[in-house]
Amino acid sequence: MKIAPSADDLVKLSYFADMAKKITSAYTVKDTLVAVQHHIGAIFSPQNWSIMLTEPETGRLRFQEVTGEGADQLKGQVLARGTGIAGWIAEHALPLIVEDVTTDDRFDPSMDELTGFTTKSIIGVPLINRGRVFGVIELVNKPDGTSFSPMELKILVTIAEFGAIAIEKAYYTAALKRVAMTDPLTGALNRRGMEKSLEREVSRCKRINTLITILMFDVDNFKEINDTYGHIQGDEVLKELADILKKNIRKADIICRYGGDEFAVIMPDAGYKKAEHVKNRILAHLAIENDRREFSFGVSIGIHSGEPDTVADIFDFADKALYFEKTRKIEMDIDNLSTNLPEFL
């Protein structure tokens, strides 16, 4: 005999369905964490609670969202892999209740020492989906001083499951966007990525009333390189140039493969002098690499620095600067040839 759910049960189911919808419909990791934080606060209201995300490269846990006493001090802090209760949860991918942290050897007091807060009890769950742990949700101290219950653990696990699904979706979405705007050969932004970056930079420069600076590059006689040494070697030249650019620009600068053998470097908050300095550094590095290579190649570099206008105008100005530089180099080659011509007669 089937028993129909009570009105109270239906209300609970409706609440969890609504919660799942709000969390999993988030498009970014930030929006997901905000939604998770909201529901934790509404259901549990602990003294402190944190959402830590796993750093893919190191396995450390970073305090991403923190609510409660010492939140400002905790946000951005990291726990070494496997450290503390949260580290154990991440390593073992298991939920955990610790009624009294003073009796648990896994507890790490370093964050209490940093904030002056006293942790008494903890409930924590992994943000896990399809076997991948994205982070940990940790609740500290119930306001009434009692221990967290197994039922509360089940509810928190449910919230974490919704959160992990949304985080994974946000990661995949971000990865797809990066792929769509990245040149697969060199790892630089492609033309679409360059246009998006320039749009943001133009808007920012207009807002703070500053100049926009861009360097445009192309490889000298690139067709001859392909014809003489083959397209595979031509690709190696492009990859090498991209690598040289990465090593000689500032962290804030943006490298783009504009098309074919053309590259661009967008330089936020930099005028002509800084761009000229970067240009000379790149040419010096290229000269060193050419001495080590089987054959050498050159690049032409044009610089545009001025007040931001439209993206199309910036492309036009930068292209003209590059064209001027290439024309100047050709004229210099002709002059050198004319000067040395009598020696061959």
Residues 253 and 175 in one domain: no
Residues 171 and 33 in one domain: yes
User: Could you give the CA distance from residue 160 to residue 127 in angstroms, rounded to a whole number?
Assistant: 5
Q: What is the pLDDT of residue 340?
A: 58
| Strands of the 262-267 sheet, one edge to the other | 254-259, 262-267, 212-219, 299-306
Residue 343 counted as domain residue: no
Q: Which residue, of 155, 180, 205, is where some domain finishes?
A: 180
Residues 167 and 47 in one domain: yes
Tell me if residue 212 falls in helix, strand or coil.
strand
Residues 133 and 241 in one domain: no
Q: Which residue, of 146, 180, 214, is where some domain finishes?
A: 180
Looking up residue 212, the CATH number of its domain turns out to be 3.30.70.270
Residues 91 and 149 in one domain: yes
Q: For the residues of 247-311, what is the DSSP string, one character each?
A: HHS-TT-EEEEEETTEEEEEETT--HHHHHHHHHHHHHHHHHHHHHSSS---EEEEEEEE----H
Q: What is the pLDDT of residue 54?
A: 96
Residues 136 and 244 in one domain: no
Looking up residue 99, the CATH number of its domain turns out to be 3.30.450.40
Which tokens go with 29? 């990791």
Q: What is the pLDDT of residue 13?
A: 52
Q: Which residue, of 129, 156, 180, is where some domain finishes?
A: 180
Q: What is the pLDDT of residue 1?
A: 46
Residue 341 counted as domain residue: no
Query: Along the chain (345 residues), what's the average pLDDT of each consecutive run of 10 residues?
Result: 47 65 85 88 88 93 92 93 95 96 95 93 95 95 89 92 92 88 94 89 86 89 91 93 94 90 90 91 93 86 81 79 78 59 49
Residues 91 and 171 in one domain: yes
Residue 110 counted as domain residue: yes
Q: Which of 70, 69, 27 is nearest to 47 (CA)?
A: 69
Residue 345 counted as domain residue: no
Residues 300 and 232 in one domain: yes
The domain in which residue 219 lies consists of 191-336
Residue 344 counted as domain residue: no
Residue 342 counted as domain residue: no
Residues 232 and 136 in one domain: no
Residues 44 and 118 in one domain: yes
CA geometry: angle 224, 245, 247, nearest 5 deg: 135
Number of domains in the chain: 2
Beta strand segments in 155-242, E: 212-219
Kindly tell me the burial class for residue 202, based on how many C-beta atoms sit within 10 Å of its own C-beta (0-12, 13-18, 19 or more): middle
Residue 27 counted as domain residue: yes
Residues 121 and 64 in one domain: yes
User: Could you give the CA distance from residue 23 to residue 34 in angstroms, rounded to a whole number?
Assistant: 9
Residues 172 and 212 in one domain: no
Residue 185 counted as domain residue: no
**With contact defined as beta carbons under 8 Å apart, do 134 and 125 qualify?**
no
**With contact defined as beta carbons under 8 Å apart, do 306 and 199 qualify?**
no
Read off the amino acid at residue 49: W
CB atoms within 10 A of CB 80: 13
